[in-house]
């Protein structure tokens, strides 16, 4: 049994990835790689002009950019420690996600998962592996579709992320995305433990 079999592997096919989820994932990853001067052709498949999609995408980008800025070095270090190859990328994304959500699903953790996907995509492109960006996008979208979408739908749908962002903007001291500083430190420790078992 390989490692992917032990971490609740995503079993859906590309036809079963929720299109709205794919839109958010591809648009966010495109934002991150473009921000780093990297061209990615595949993102054009998911350019949705729907006003509601754009509003959610804007909230996601706002939260994720703030989170990424706070923990940039931790994400860089994490990406450098991962086994990133075409044959392992899906398993790697799933393993990180399983650790991230091992204590439950929250909007802040969903945002962190998007950030992880974006940082991993940038890392792969900088390591001369831009072909892996498609694999990362698919793996993130598939995981969200299969493992997180039921929670998202039970918590206001994607509009719940807009509400989370509004509440964060009103109550935050801009120190962390709703107290995720301690959470991210704990996640880093958990991921280190997970990586040492691989």
Is 198 a residue whose pLDDT tops 70?
A: no
* pLDDT at residue 8 in the model: 43
What CATH number is attached to the domain comprising 38?
Answer: 1.10.437.10
Q: How many domains does the chain have?
A: 1
- Residue-wise pLDDT tens digits, 135-151: 999 999 999 999 999 99
Least confident range from 103-117, 122-136, 144-158, 178-192: namely 178-192
pLDDT of residue 21: 94
**Rounded CA separation 151/88 (Å):** 27
In a domain, 13, yes or no: no
User: Is 14 inside any structural domain?
Assistant: no
* 181: in domain: yes
- Residue 5: inside a domain, yes or no? no
Contact indicator for 100, 116 with CB cutoff of 8 Å: yes
- pLDDT tens, residue by residue, 13-48: 556 789 999 999 999 999 999 999 988 876 566 666
DSSP structure class, residue 9? -
**The model scores a pTM over 0.85:** no
Residue 38 lies inside a defined structural domain of this protein: yes
Position 3 in a domain: no
Does residue 170 sit within a domain? yes
Is residue 93 a contact partner of residue 120, using CB atoms and an 8 Å limit? yes
User: How far is the C-alpha of 16 from the C-alpha of 151, rounded, in Å?
Assistant: 17
Instruction: To the nearest 10°, report the CA torsion of 9, 14, 19, 25.
Output: 60
Q: Which domain holds residue 122?
A: 21-196
Higher pLDDT: 73 or 43? It is: 73
Task: Decide if 16 is inside a domain.
Answer: no
């Amino acid at each position: 049994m390989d490692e992917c079999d032990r971490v609740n592997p995503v079993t859906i096919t590309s036809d079963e990835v929720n299109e709205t989820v794919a839109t958010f994932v591809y648009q966010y990853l495109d934002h991150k790689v473009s921000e780093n001067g990297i061209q990615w052709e595949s993102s054009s498949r998911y350019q949705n002009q729907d006003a509601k999609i754009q509003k959610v995408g804007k909230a996601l980008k706002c939260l994720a950019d703030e989170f990424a800025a706070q923990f940039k070095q931790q994400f860089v270090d994490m990406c450098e420690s991962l086994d990133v190859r075409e044959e392992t990328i899906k398993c790697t994304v799933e393993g990180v996600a399983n650790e991230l959500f091992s204590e439950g699903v929250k909007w802040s953790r969903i945002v962190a998962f998007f950030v992880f996907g974006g940082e991993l995509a940038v890392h792969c492109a900088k390591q001369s592996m831009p072909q892996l960006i498609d694999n990362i996008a698919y793996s993130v979208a598939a995981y969200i579709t299969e493992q997180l979408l039921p929670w998202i739908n039970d918590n206001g749908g994607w509009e719940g992320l807009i509400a989370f962002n509004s509440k964060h903007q009103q109550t935050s001291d801009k120190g962390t995305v709703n107290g995720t500083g301690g959470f991210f430190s704990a996640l880093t420790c958990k991921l280190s433990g997970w990586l040492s078992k691989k």
